[in-house]
Amino acid sequence: MEKRTDKNSYTIIFAIGMVLVVGTLLAYASSSLKDRITTNRELEKQQNILYAMGINENDESNAIFVSTQEAPKLFTEYIKKQLVIQGDKITEDNEAYLIDVKKEQTNAKAGKERRLPLFIGEKEGITYYIAPIRGKGLWDAIWAYIAMDENMVVQGAFFDHKGETAGLGANINKRFFMDDFIGEDLMSNGKFVGIKVAKGNADPLNIDKTDNEVDAIAGSTITGDGVSAMLRNELRLYVPYFENLKNN
């Protein structure tokens, strides 16, 4: 005799029921947790921006953010201005840090003018210009917050990724990689060249700060190339702003 569960009608009803139950469950979980998740993401952005300008709780070897409780307070304290650059137009916007870089990149592809956020921070008399950028790694998105001085010399960098290989490409958010960028010049002889994540640059301690190169991580060639491309393509867009800054 055919079992009850083998009937086509039962199978279809079961499938529909399962989809309904699972769908409702996931939709409920997602919508009820949405607010918290959004807040966490915003706090993370603030922590990242602060990290890039050197406001963090780093111990000897690990990258540690300021706590989520402290982040909003420190953010308003240290970030003096949030700018949105759109062509020649520069506007101030206190929620510029919420601009979705990914969306802006898609808009730019569709022919719309891209909004470039830039955060101006001040710490101990030094001004930091912090740009959020985004690119592609091996598996998924990578992004960074790069703090520069007015000559486009990197003062601090924070890298992160969505799904790079653990132990290899995922190490771009470790200090031994990020700290190498501090002091590196994005310009060479007055021209923007970016910073290359280079294999075999024979400078593992990164003593030469003017070679526009940092030492790559072994086993993560494609992630490293992604970082180089991201720095080159994205920070280039900020060059006109810095040139204006000098001329004024």
Closest to other proteins by CB, 112 vs 162, is: 162
- Least distance in Å: CB of 86 to other proteins? 31
- Least distance in Å: CB of 192 to other proteins? 30
Q: What is the Cα–Cα distance from 224 to 136, expressed in whole angstroms?
A: 10
Closest among 147, 96, 98 to 126, alpha carbons compared: 147
Of the residues 72, 87, 167, 240, which one makes contact with other proteins according to CB under 8 A:
167
Q: What is the Cα–Cα distance from 244 to 238, expressed in whole angstroms?
A: 10
Other CB atoms within 10 A of residue 55 CB: 22
Of the residues 162, 210, 240, 243, which one makes contact with other proteins according to CB under 8 A:
162
25 binds other proteins (CB under 8 A): yes
Closest among 159, 157, 190 to 173, alpha carbons compared: 159
Other CB atoms within 10 A of residue 68 CB: 13
Q: What is the Cα–Cα distance from 235 to 130, expressed in whole angstroms?
A: 10
Q: What is the Cα–Cα distance from 248 to 240, expressed in whole angstroms?
A: 12
Of the residues 205, 207, 246, 248, which one makes contact with other proteins according to CB under 8 A:
205
Of the residues 104, 164, 184, 225, which one makes contact with other proteins according to CB under 8 A:
164
Bridge-partner residues for 90, per DSSP?
Answer: 85
Of the residues 16, 37, 90, 98, which one makes contact with other proteins according to CB under 8 A:
37
Of the residues 44, 70, 77, 93, which one makes contact with other proteins according to CB under 8 A:
44
Of the residues 16, 20, 29, 245, which one makes contact with other proteins according to CB under 8 A:
29
Kindly give, in sequence order, each residue whose CB lies less than 8 Å from that of residue 78, ignoring residues fewer than 6 positions away.
50, 53, 55, 121, 122, 123
- Least distance in Å: CB of 158 to other proteins? 13
Kindly give, in sequence order, each residue whose CB lies less than 8 Å from that of residue 210, ignoring residues fewer than 6 positions away.
185, 188
- Least distance in Å: CB of 209 to other proteins? 17
Between 206 and 245, how does the x/- string for binding to other proteins read (CB under 8 A)?
------------xx--------------------------
> Interface residues with other proteins (CB under 8 A)?
3, 5-6, 10-11, 14-15, 18, 22, 25-26, 29-30, 33, 36-37, 40, 43-44, 61-62, 68, 162-168, 170, 204-205, 218-219
